Structure formats: structure tokens, C-alpha cells
């Protein structure tokens, strides 16, 4: 049974081992591949390998930066609930960890994905401004499945699978890539297509959740994300 809320005392020694192993392994692997904003925010939020993040502590820290909060859900939240939380600066996260014998197998997002990969950037104002707008706009178009799909695509190609240009290099910032060894390497290789961030293209781009991506969109800055909402609004509402 997956827990509904985080009861810190319930984490077992195996959970601590799993967190530490995943954290150390992944940070070593992505350190030179990930956006500097992510590394800065990881430090700002205070995540570390020796300590499974305590949501209360994380929220106290986040409230100083952006006012965002992480709240627990046992599984992926349905769209309308998820978007409602986003519009109110709340990110829904699981609080359970995979077991040691399934360390490389992720059936559905666990706390390592949700907290290690998603939470740090919730301390970044421009990133969260964009993220909150996705939720706010979604609430206005929930009755229109086509438009919901357009916003889901925007979420997918940025928050989950976004790349960012940093000096001369391309780096990763999407949480789906950050928590995956295979995709971190692949996304930066010359195998997939990398396209300049373009809201119109993204919102018309079908994606699959069951295969590794063959196309990624590259932003120049997080400011570009929040600025792009003029175009998003045009596509959704005009
Ligand atoms: Fe995610």
C-alpha cells in the first residue's frame, strides 16, 4: 500500500540506502550534463544523499524562494487535480521509494523522480512562473480535451523533457531526463532531433510516454519559458 502522506519515521534503513545510492549515482552522472540552474537550486533546496527529503523541511525552504509547496499523493494525480494544484503553487509528489532490488526499474514515478528531479527548480522564480501558468491556463480549458492535450504537450517538452542552452553547450533541465541515466546521455547525443523552443510546434507535437523521445526542444533561458505565454494564450484563446 502506497502512503498517502509522508510519515518520516516510517522510512526504513533500506529506503535510506536506496535514496543515497540513487542520489550519488545520478548526481555523479548528470553533474556535467545538467543546467547550472538545477545544480544551484539543488543546493538551495538542501537535498543531500544522506537524508531522505522531509517534505516539511523542503516546503519551509521553498516558501522563502517562491512560495511553492510539495504535497503528497499516492500515485499520479488526475489532470484536473494536478492542474488545480499547479495553479496554486503546489506540486504533487509521491513519498515512497522503489526497493533496492528494483533500483533500475521504474514502473511509475517514485519519490526519487518527483523530489530529486522536480523539486529543486521549484525554487527558481522564472521556472515556477511558467509552471504555475500551465496550471492556471489549464483550469480555463478543462472542458476542451484538444486544448488540454496542447498544454500537456507543453508540459511534456519542457518540465519533463526540456533542454537548455548554456554558453556553447546544451544541458538538461527536464525532470524526466534528470532522473534517467539512459535518457540523460541519449538526449545530449547526436541521435535525437533538437529543435529551438517553439510553442506552436510543441503544442502540435504528439508525444509517446512509452518510448525514449526522438525530439527535444531547447530553450535559451527560463525567462524564455515564462515570456512564451503570450504566444500560448494566443494559441489557446484566440
Ligand atoms: Fe515528472
Average pLDDT over residues 204-208: 94
Find the range with the poorest average confidence among 24-33, 74-83, 86-95.
74-83
Q: Looking at the predicted structure, is the pLDDT value of residue 210 above 70?
A: yes
Q: Looking at the predicted structure, is the pLDDT value of residue 77 above 80?
A: no
Q: Looking at the predicted structure, is the pLDDT value of residue 101 above 70?
A: yes
Average pLDDT over residues 46-62: 97
3-state secondary structure of 72: strand
* Per-residue pLDDT at 79: 73
**Per-residue pLDDT reduced to its tens digit, 155-199:** 999 999 999 998 889 999 999 999 998 899 999 999 999 999 999
| pLDDT classification of 209: cutoffs 50, 70, 90 | confident
* Per-residue pLDDT at 74: 66
Q: Whole-model pTM?
A: 0.94
Query: What distance in angstroms lies between residue 38's CA and the mean position of ligand 1's atoms?
Result: 15
Q: Looking at the predicted structure, is the pLDDT value of residue 206 above 90?
A: yes
Q: How confident is the prediction for the chain on average, in pLDDT?
A: 94
Query: What distance in angstroms lies between residue 174's CA and the mean position of ligand 1's atoms?
Result: 8
Half-sphere exposure of 223 (CA within 13 A, CB side): 1
**Per-residue pLDDT reduced to its tens digit, 134-162:** 999 999 999 999 999 999 999 999 999 99
* Nearest CA-CA partner of 131 in 107, 103, 111, 151: 151
Answer CATH for 8-237 from 3.40.640.10, 1.10.357.10, 3.40.50.720, 1.10.800.10: 1.10.800.10
Query: What distance in angstroms lies between residue 171's CA and the mean position of ligand 1's atoms?
Result: 18
Counting beta carbons within 10 angstroms of the beta carbon of residue 191, is it exposed (0 to 12), middle (13 to 18) or buried (19 or more)? exposed
Q: How many CB atoms lie within 10 A of CB 207?
A: 16
* Environment of ion ligand 1 (residues, CB < 5 A): 175
In this structure, the strands spanning 215-219 and 193-196 are parallel
Query: What distance in angstroms lies between residue 113's CA and the mean position of ligand 1's atoms?
Result: 6
Find the range with the poorest average confidence among 13-27, 68-82, 151-165, 219-233.
68-82
Distance CA 90, CA 183 (A): 27
Query: What distance in angstroms lies between residue 64's CA and the mean position of ligand 1's atoms?
Result: 23
Query: What distance in angstroms lies between residue 59's CA and the mean position of ligand 1's atoms?
Result: 18
> Which residues, other chains included, contact 207 with Cβ-Cβ below 8 Å and sequence gap of 6+?
153, 156, 157, 213
Query: What distance in angstroms lies between residue 159's CA and the mean position of ligand 1's atoms?
Result: 8
Find the range with the poorest average confidence among 31-40, 90-99, 105-114.
105-114
Q: Looking at the predicted structure, is the pLDDT value of residue 212 above 90?
A: no
In this structure, the strands spanning 169-172 and 163-166 are antiparallel
* Per-residue pLDDT at 90: 96
Where would I find the beta strands (DSSP E) of 57-212? 69-72, 90-93, 163-166, 169-172, 193-196
Query: What distance in angstroms lies between residue 84's CA and the mean position of ligand 1's atoms?
Result: 16
* Per-residue pLDDT at 149: 95
Query: What distance in angstroms lies between residue 12's CA and the mean position of ligand 1's atoms?
Result: 24
| Residue 102 or residue 235, greater confidence | 235
Amino acid at each position: 500500500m502506497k502512503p498517502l502522506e509522508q510519515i518520516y519515521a516510517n522510512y526504513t534503513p533500506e529506503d535510506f540506502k536506496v535514496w543515497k545510492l540513487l542520489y550519488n549515482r545520478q548526481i555523479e552522472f548528470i553533474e556535467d550534463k545538467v543546467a547550472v540552474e538545477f545544480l544551484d537550486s539543488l543546493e538551495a533546496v538542501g537535498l543531500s544523499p544522506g537524508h531522505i527529503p522531509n517534505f516539511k523541511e523542503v516546503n519551509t525552504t521553498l516558501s522563502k524562494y517562491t512560495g511553492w509547496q510539495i504535497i503528497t499523493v499516492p500515485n499520479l494525480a488526475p489532470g484536473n487535480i494536478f492542474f488545480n494544484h499547479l495553479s496554486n503553487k503546489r506540486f504533487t509528489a509521491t513519498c515512497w521509494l522503489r526497493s533496492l532490488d528494483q533500483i533500475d526499474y521504474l514502473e511509475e514515478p517514485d519519490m526519487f523522480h518527483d523530489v530529486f528531479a522536480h523539486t529543486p527548480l521549484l525554487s527558481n522564480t522564472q521556472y515556477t512562473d511558467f509552471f504555475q501558468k500551465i496550471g492556471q491556463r489549464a483550469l480555463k480549458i478543462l472542458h476542451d480535451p484538444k486544448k488540454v492535450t496542447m498544454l500537456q504537450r507543453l508540459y511534456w517538452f519542457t518540465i519533463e523533457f526540456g533542454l537548455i542552452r548554456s554558453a556553447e553547450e546544451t544541458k538538461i533541465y527536464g525532470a524526466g531526463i534528470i532522473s534517467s541515466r539512459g535518457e540523460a546521455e541519449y538526449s545530449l547525443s547526436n541521435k535525437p532531433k533538437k529543435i529551438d523552443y517553439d510553442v506552436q510546434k510543441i503544442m502540435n507535437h504528439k508525444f509517446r510516454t512509452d518510448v525514449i523521445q526522438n525530439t527535444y526542444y531547447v530553450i535559451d533561458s527560463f525567462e524564455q519559458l515564462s515570456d512564451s505565454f503570450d504566444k500560448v494564450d494566443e494559441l489557446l484563446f484566440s
